[in-house]
């Protein structure tokens, strides 16, 4: 399922590494939650999420107008170990606010 070449290429970008670390900590997150923490424009975050999805690292779930991302449930054990070790070497991440997308709808 997870090609090692695509896996490590996906990890080559610091924003993608931060996204994966956040998903390790917070399970499933809406793209707007990730935008808030990463302080990056939505199109940029979405492009990085597309790379992660194409590499088989994340999966999606649509809830109304929102797209939610999580680590792919079929990631092999070796890939999860790499991600956990990578996360341990990163600075502590700020908490992702819960349901920020739902509270911003008028």
What is the pLDDT at residue 9?
96
Q: Which two tokens stand for residue 12?
A: 């080559």
Domains of the chain: 4-90 (1.10.10.10)
pLDDT digits (tens, 9 = 90+) for 35-87: 989 989 999 999 999 999 999 999 999 999 889 999 999 999 999 999 999 98
Which are the contacts of 54, defined by CB distance < 8 A and separation ≥ 6?
6
Q: Write down the pTM of the prediction.
A: 0.84
pLDDT digits (tens, 9 = 90+) for 1-40: 678 999 999 999 999 999 999 999 888 999 989 998 998 9
Which are the contacts of 77, defined by CB distance < 8 A and separation ≥ 6?
none
């Amino acid at each position: 399922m997870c090609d090692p070449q695509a896996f490590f290429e996906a990890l080559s970008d610091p924003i993608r590494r931060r996204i994966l670390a956040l998903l390790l900590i917070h399970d499933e997150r809406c793209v707007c939650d990730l935008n808030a923490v990463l302080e990056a424009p939505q199109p940029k975050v979405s492009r990085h999420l597309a790379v992660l999805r194409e590499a088989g690292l994340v999966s999606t779930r649509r809830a109304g107008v929102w797209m939610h991302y999580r680590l792919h449930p079929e990631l092999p054990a070796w890939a999860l170990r790499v991600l956990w070790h990578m996360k341990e070497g990163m600075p502590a991440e700020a908490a992702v606010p819960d349901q920020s997308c739902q509270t911003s709808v008028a």
